[in-house]
Structure 1
Amino acid sequence: MPWIFGQRFNRVTKGVVYPCDRAEAEERNRTGSKEYAAVLKDDDDRTRLALQVDTAPDGGPVVFVYQFDDQQRIWLKYLFGAARDRDGLFLESLSHMEYAGPDDKESVRSTTVRIKPDGRAYMEELDKEADTYTKSEGTKDPAMLEENYEPMPAFGDWASVTRIERSRPVDQQPPESGSWLVLKNPV
């Protein structure tokens, strides 16, 4: 499976905008111009995994992770922002989408969870089939949020930020995890 690189990830085309080679993407990462995208395509040229590394308005890093199903629909999305209380990243938001059938372009169910390092959590659930929308708030013990922290990944070392089971190490991820795609297809 080949990786392609660019300055931005395009969710519509599932490719990159302003393509570049690996060396340029790696240089953008190394020099602190952290704006680059990496997209992993399968042998049938279908997008399986995409990462967008950006710089937030406050200068900190932002990492978006998109995982795709066999029909090239996003089924899992992560947003990592700069950790405020230590070096690295904090998983601020995760979204999971479900589709009714293989030809459906729109998800029928989606769940988005937004988490703050202090334990405040917000969840939105949309079920189009049941015609329900639920919004809830809660708190989680900040000590239980360790799995939300990640070191800033080195270029190409994306297996950890793509973990599905956040509490499990990379080598114990389920087969559909982006971690395995990264490990089997090194940059």
Structure 2
Amino acid sequence: MIWTYCEQWNNLTEKPMTPLTPEQAEARHASGELYTAVSSPAEQSTPTLRVEMRLETGYASVIFMDESGRDTLDYTFTLINGSLFLETATSRSYGNSQERGGYADADRTETYEFTTDGVMQRAIEEEGGESKESRHGVDVSSNWEPVPAFGAYASLIRRER
């Protein structure tokens, strides 16, 4: 994977906002300031995922994108006692939409919210409405991740969880 860095990613233009050198991004990682690592496989010029880090506020997110630059899967982590906890997982599908990036509206969104004590809430939004359910006693041990060193995102960016 090839990583490039910026302050934030613009979904509408599908381009980085305030590009950063690796050294600038590493300094932001160390200080906890916001930065985004954008990955493109060597054979593609279109990014396939982003890692957003803002450790000063306890936030990290991994966003997987499709070939049209649309967010399809988002894992949001919160910093608790020095480790990252997967708090929210959101998947989006776009059906036959030809819209790109931030211009596309998902035709189905499925969101899972987790608590450290094993409560999971699931919400599904689609054209026909919304449904919700809760479960207690869910094993959330796999929701924990160590805070990665700068550039070492392999464990954090696992798609299958």
The TM-score with structure 1 as length reference comes to 0.75
1:22 aligns with 2:22: yes
* Partner in structure 2 of residue 81 of structure 1: 78
C-alpha contact 1:61 1:81 (8 A) present in aligned 2 = yes
Q: How does 1:1-187 map to 2 (within 5 A)?
A: 2-30=2-30, 32-42=31-41, 43-55=43-55, 59-83=56-80, 86-101=81-96, 103-104=98-99, 105-128=104-127, 131-141=128-138, 144-166=139-161
Letter in 2 for 1:82: L
**Partner Cα distance (1:13, 1:64) in 2:** 20
- Report the CA distance between 1:44 and its aligned residue: 4.8
**Offset of 1:67 from its aligned partner?**
0.3
Between Structure 1 and Structure 2, the one with more strand by share is 2
Q: Deviations over 1:127-150 (max 9, x none)?
A: 22xx12112222134xx2111000
* CA RMSD after TM alignment: 1.9
Alpha-carbon distance in 1 for matches of 2:44, 2:158: 24
Any idea what SS the aligned residue of 2:154 has?
Answer: coil
What is the percent sequence identity of the aligned residues? 26
Flag as ranges the 4+ runs of structure 1 deviating above 4 A.
none
Q: Structure 1: any 5+ residue segments left out of the alignment? A: 167-187
CA distance in 2, matches of 1:150, 1:33: 17
SS in 1 for 2:120: strand
The size of the alignment, in residue pairs, is 156
The superposition leaves residues 62-92 of structure 1 with CA deviations (integer Å, 9 ceiling, x where unpaired) of 1011101122211100100012xx4310000
Residues 90-128 of structure 1, C-alpha deviations (whole Å, 9 max, x = no match): 000000111212625322111001111011222110122
Q: Which has the higher contact order (CA 8 A, sep 6+)?
A: 2
Q: Find the aligned partners of 2:135 and 2:35 in 1 and give their Cα distance.
A: 34
> 1:60: Cα distance to partner?
4.4
TM-score when normalising by structure 2? 0.86
